[in-house]
Amino acid sequence: METARSLAAGLQRLVRTAGERITEDNAASPLVSRICGHVGVAFHDLVMVGQEYRSWEHACLQRGLDAYLAAHTPGAEWFGIAGTERHYENLSAMIGAAVMLGTYTLGRPEYGTAAVGPEESIEVVELGLVPTAAPDGSPVVLGVLTRESYEAMCVLNVFARDRATAAAVRDEVDRLRREHDVMRGQVLGFGASEYHENALVSFLPRPHLAASEVVLPDGRLEAVEAHVVGIAEHAERLLAAGQHLKRGLLLYGPPGTGKTHTVRYLMGRLLGATVIQLTGPAMRFLGQAVALARSLQPAVVIVEDVDLVAEDRDLVDDGTNPLLFSLLDAMDGISGDADVVFVLTTNRVEMLERALAERPGRIDLAVEIPRPDLEGRVGLLRLYGRELRLDADLAEVAARTEGVTASFIKELVRRAVLIALREGAALRDGPAPGAPERLTDAHFGAAVDEMFDPAQSLTRGLLGAARGSGESDEFDGVFLEDDGDDEEG
């Protein structure tokens, strides 16, 4: 029995000694030496702090890292880690495995690209470490790793002798990340990843429209512009007068009348503002979008087809609507002095809950975008035919299209052009070469007849025309009340 105990004790000592020898050997590996040698401590005394960022913040983090290194160690060079399953581990675990098992070794840094604009991207470190110094001169090592998991994340690590030093470096990098945020002043669209439960942010081009390209009843565009742009232009004076900046705008009306077009005009007018667009499934990222808007003021949060989100909770089976609550909470959670605008659009204003549509502080201006009147339809005909010579009585054409939308007028002009081309009309040589030399009453008349043919009833509905518009309509189908093409003037 005693012999067995002695044998077991001997085996334990052997295993422990072997482990210590392996650890000592691996601790001297180029990877571990590169980190611990720079910091000036043994592996077991190394302190690490970290910060996680969502994948769409990677470019911002890279800009922050670049600024930090430029200020503290301009000539610093990145190095990497070689081994398997790297993007499913964290840096501390990989370094620990390098010491205990020798499974990771010194390698080259890995790079990828990240968008910083609609047509611009930068190189970012996806896995790498770099020796640098803390603001007080203490040696530290920065590490970056993109981790592939249920939520794709970008992780910043700081290795130092003590926690205070590591935390100070982490906080300074994060401050520089915010200072150099590539999303500030951009137009951003939120979407969803197919593979990760995470938000994806895309950079969108900022539209630029002239006021003459937005055809609305008199006073509507001016009211919208004063509420959204005017407050932004006088923000400092309003705050000095004790007035709040946060505001909510609701644009409502049938599909195809120009709500989205009006929003696009506002986006072009607010050149320095960060614009965040949310539609469809991306609504579940509302909280993140609003937090982003708060940090990137002045900002605009656009929620299109809000009736799909903020329907009366009585219509929901269990009497609740989590997305509605999220929207209301987000609007209430922004402080009054924040220069953030919520712009909501809806085709079905009657479906909105009163708490959203009427209470001050959530929506303080509601503007109807109706189907255009006779004057508006004439204006739209001129707008969509502005590249053409219109030899037609536009008032007569407009009179035949009562109850239609801007989308309908746009399609009407296109069909008139097609009819002219099919009939062999003379083509223009100068501006807009290849277009018909002119559009006549006959071309417009044929286009109107075609679009008001009884067989085109559903087409009229899809273009947002009112039931029975233009002429008696015996079609008994449903005229769509949502999902219309709303990008018209």
| 433, burial (CB in 10 Å: exposed 0-12, middle 13-18, buried 19+) | exposed
Q: Are 118 and 61 in contact (CB under 8 A)?
A: no
Are residue 269 and residue 163 in the same domain, yes or no? Answer: no
pLDDT class for 241, splitting at 50, 70, 90? very high
Last residue of a domain, one of 343, 368, 393: 368
Span of 94-98, 172-176, 436-440 with lowest mean pLDDT? 94-98
Last residue of a domain, one of 315, 337, 368: 368
Mean pLDDT within 190-214: 79
Are residue 74 and residue 137 in the same domain, yes or no? Answer: yes
Q: Are strands 439-440 and 390-391 parallel, antiparallel or unpaired?
A: parallel
**Which tops the pLDDT comparison, 393 or 308?**
393
Angle between helices 2-27 and 91-100 (to 10 degrees): 120
Q: Is the pLDDT at 352 greater than 90, yes or no?
A: no
pLDDT class for 430, splitting at 50, 70, 90? low
Is 50 domain-assigned? yes
Mean pLDDT within 82-91: 70
Counting residues of the chain whose pLDDT is more than 70, the rounded percentage is: 79
CA within 13 Å, CB half, 420: 27
Is 7 domain-assigned? no
pLDDT class for 222, splitting at 50, 70, 90? very high
Question: Which CATH number does the domain housing residue 222 bear?
Answer: 3.40.50.300
Q: Are 8 and 77 in contact (CB under 8 A)?
A: no
Q: Are 115 and 142 in contact (CB under 8 A)?
A: no
Confidence at residue 429, expressed as pLDDT on a 0 to 100 scale: 62
Longest dimension (CA), the chain: 115
Mean pLDDT within 249-255: 92
Residue 3 identity (one-letter amino acid): T
Are residue 30 and residue 86 in the same domain, yes or no? Answer: yes
Are residue 141 and residue 265 in the same domain, yes or no? Answer: no
Are residue 267 and residue 341 in the same domain, yes or no? Answer: yes
Q: Are 458 and 380 in contact (CB under 8 A)?
A: no
Is 1 domain-assigned? no
Q: What is the pLDDT of residues 451-465, one digit of tens each?
A: 998 888 888 888 877
Measured distance CA(293)–CA(345) in Å, rounded: 18
Confidence at residue 483, expressed as pLDDT on a 0 to 100 scale: 42
Q: Is the pLDDT at 197 greater than 80, yes or no?
A: no
Compute the CA torsion angle 250, 255, 259, 260 (nearest 10 deg): 120
Are residue 350 and residue 225 in the same domain, yes or no? Answer: yes
Compute and round to an integer the Cα radius of gyration of the chain: 31
Confidence at residue 348, expressed as pLDDT on a 0 to 100 scale: 84
Are residue 167 and residue 280 in the same domain, yes or no? Answer: no
Q: What is the pLDDT of residues 88-130, one digit of tens each?
A: 677 777 787 777 766 788 889 999 999 999 999 999 999 999 9
Measured distance CA(280)–CA(467) in Å, rounded: 27
Span of 103-112, 156-165, 188-197 with lowest mean pLDDT? 188-197
**Residue 345 is part of which domain span?**
202-368
Domain count, the chain: 3
Confidence at residue 477, expressed as pLDDT on a 0 to 100 scale: 35
Of the candidates 383, 460, 448, 374, the residue with the CA atom closest to the CA atom of residue 415: 448
Are residue 280 and residue 341 in the same domain, yes or no? Answer: yes
Are residue 207 and residue 348 in the same domain, yes or no? Answer: yes
Confidence at residue 16, expressed as pLDDT on a 0 to 100 scale: 47
Counting residues of the chain whose pLDDT is more than 90, the rounded percentage is: 51
Of the candidates 79, 63, 82, 80, the residue with the CA atom closest to the CA atom of residue 71: 63
Confidence at residue 19, expressed as pLDDT on a 0 to 100 scale: 44
**Which tops the pLDDT comparison, 201 or 224?**
224
Measured distance CA(59)–CA(250) in Å, rounded: 33
Paired strand residues for 378: none
Confidence at residue 101, expressed as pLDDT on a 0 to 100 scale: 65
Q: Is the pLDDT at 232 greater than 80, yes or no?
A: yes
Most confident residue range from 2-16, 244-258, 322-336 = 244-258
Q: What is the pLDDT of residues 376-417, one digit of tens each?
A: 999 999 999 988 889 999 999 999 999 999 999 999 999 999
Q: Are 302 and 309 in contact (CB under 8 A)?
A: no
Are residue 392 and residue 351 in the same domain, yes or no? Answer: no
Mean pLDDT within 251-275: 93
Question: Which CATH number does the domain housing residue 396 bear?
Answer: 1.10.8.60
**Which tops the pLDDT comparison, 347 or 476?**
347
Q: Is the pLDDT at 471 greater than 90, yes or no?
A: no
Show the 3-state SS of the chain: CHHHHHHHHHHHHHHHHHHHHHHHHHHCCHHHHHHHHHHCCCHHHCEEEEEEEEHHHHHHHHHHHHHHHHHHCCCCCCEEEECCCHHHCCHHHHHHHHHHCCCCEEECCEEEEEEEECCEEEEEEEEEEEEEECCCCCEEEEEEEEECCCCCEEEEEEEECCHHHHHHHHHHHHHHHHHCCCCCCCEEEEEECCCCCCEEEEEECCCCCCHHHCCCCCCHHHHHHHHHHHHHHCHHHHHHCCCCCCEEEEEECCCCCCHHHHHHHHHHHCCCCEEEEECHHHHHHHHHHHHHHHHCCCEEEEECCHHHCCECHHHCCCCCCHHHHHHHHHHHHCCCCCCEEEEEEECCHHHECHHHHCCCCCCCEEEECCCCCHHHHHHHHHHHCCCCCEECCHHHHHHCCCCCCHHHHHHHHHHHHHHHHHCCCCECCCCCCCCECCEEHHHHHHHHHHHCCHHHHHHHHHCCCCCCCCCCCCCCCCCCCCCCCCCCC
- Average pLDDT score over the chain: 83
Measured distance CA(73)–CA(141) in Å, rounded: 11
Confidence at residue 199, expressed as pLDDT on a 0 to 100 scale: 56
Confidence at residue 314, expressed as pLDDT on a 0 to 100 scale: 47
Q: Is the pLDDT at 63 greater than 90, yes or no?
A: yes
Mean pLDDT within 273-301: 88
Are residue 31 and residue 50 in the same domain, yes or no? Answer: yes
Of the candidates 226, 220, 205, the residue with the CA atom closest to the CA atom of residue 268: 205
Span of 1-5, 208-212, 261-265 with lowest mean pLDDT? 1-5
Mean pLDDT within 328-357: 81
Are residue 378 and residue 358 in the same domain, yes or no? Answer: no
Is 241 domain-assigned? yes
Is 174 domain-assigned? yes
pLDDT class for 479, splitting at 50, 70, 90? very low
